[in-house]
Structure 1
C-alpha cells in the first residue's frame, strides 16, 4: 500500500505515527480541508509533471494554480501534467494521495513559495484519506526538496 511507503519514509524522522488517517476521503483539496477542519489553502497538494528526463513534483498551496509562464521560466518547458496512470507509475501513489514521501523512484521535488505563508501545512501521505501536519522546513527536509520555486498564481 502506498500509505505504507510514506509511513516507512517518514519513519526516518520518527514521524510515521503522526500520519492522520480519516474515515472520509481527503482526495481533493476541499475534501482534505473538510476532513482536517482547516482552510483549503493549507492543504499542500503535490502535482506531478512530465519532464525531459522523467517526471518532477511540485508541492503547492491548496489555493494556488500553476502559471504556465512562471513554470516555463523555472523549468524550461510548458507544464504537462502526468496522467493518473503515469502518476502511479512514477510515484507509486494514486491521484488523490500523491505526496513527496516514499516515492517509487527518486524524482525531483520542488516546493512552491505559496506554502511559505503558513506556519504548518498538510500534505497527503500516499492514500486518499491521509495527511500529516508539517512546517515548511520539515516538508523541505522530508521531501528531499531541490528548492523553492515561484510557479503559481491566484494565491496572493
Structure 2
C-alpha cells in the first residue's frame, strides 16, 4: 500500500513511471546503493523524529551523513529522538526500509539536510523496501513539500564525492 501511495503522489507530476522497483532489497543505504549501482552517499535516507508536538518530523539526508545531536538541538530547540518502527509506520504510512517524504499518511514537516547538496541527483526510497526514484535536490525539495534546508548532520564532510568514487573504482578493480 505504501508504494502505491508514493506512486499516486508522483502521478500528479507524471513521475510515477520513474519509480524503480528492484528484485532485491533496498531497505538500507548499502543495499539501495548496491541495487541502483551508486555510492552509498547518493542514497537520500529519510529519518523520523519526534517533533515539538504530537506530529513526527522528517529529515532527509545523504546516505553517508549522521545526525549531529548538537546541531539538531541548535536548529530545532529540542533533543533529537527517533521514532520506533511502529511510530514511523503510524506517522508516515511507510515501514522502516521504505520511509520517504512522499505519499505520507500525515502532513509532516520535512527538512532537507545540506549533505545532499553536493550531488546532482540522489535516490530516495519510494515507500517499500525495494524501490527508489532518481531526483535532483530541487525535485526532492519540491515533491516532498519541504519546509527548508538545514545543517544537522555530520560525518559527510570528511570524504568528497570524487574520493568516494575513486575508492569504489579501486575496490571494483581489486575485486
Asked if TM exceeds 0.5, the reply is: yes
2:69 aligns with: 68
Report the alpha carbon displacement of residue 137 of structure 1 after superposing the two structures with TM. Answer: 0.4
1:19 aligns with: 19
* Greater RCO (Cα-Cα under 8 Å, separation 6 or more): 1
2:30 aligns with: 30
CA distance in 2, matches of 1:78, 1:149: 15
CA distance in 1, matches of 2:82, 2:88: 9
1:57 aligns with: 58
CA distance in 1, matches of 2:52, 2:86: 18
Regions of 4+ moved over 3 Å: none
Structure 1 alignment gaps of length 5 or more: none
CA distance in 1, matches of 2:10, 2:114: 23
Corresponding position: 1:141 with 2:142: yes
Structure 2 alignment gaps of length 5 or more: 158-175
CA distance in 1, matches of 2:141, 2:52: 23
TM-score (norm 2): 0.89
Structure number with greater Rg is 2
Report the alpha carbon displacement of residue 52 of structure 1 after superposing the two structures with TM. Answer: 1.9
TM-score (norm 1): 0.99
2:79 aligns with: 78
- CA-based RMSD: 0.4
- What does the per-residue CA deviation read over 1:65-99, in whole Å, with 9 as the maximum and x for residues that have no partner? 00000000111111000000000000000000000
- What does the per-residue CA deviation read over 1:78-122, in whole Å, with 9 as the maximum and x for residues that have no partner? 100000000000000000000000000100000000000000000
1:128 aligns with: 129
Report the alpha carbon displacement of residue 38 of structure 1 after superposing the two structures with TM. Answer: 0.1
Equivalenced residue count is: 156
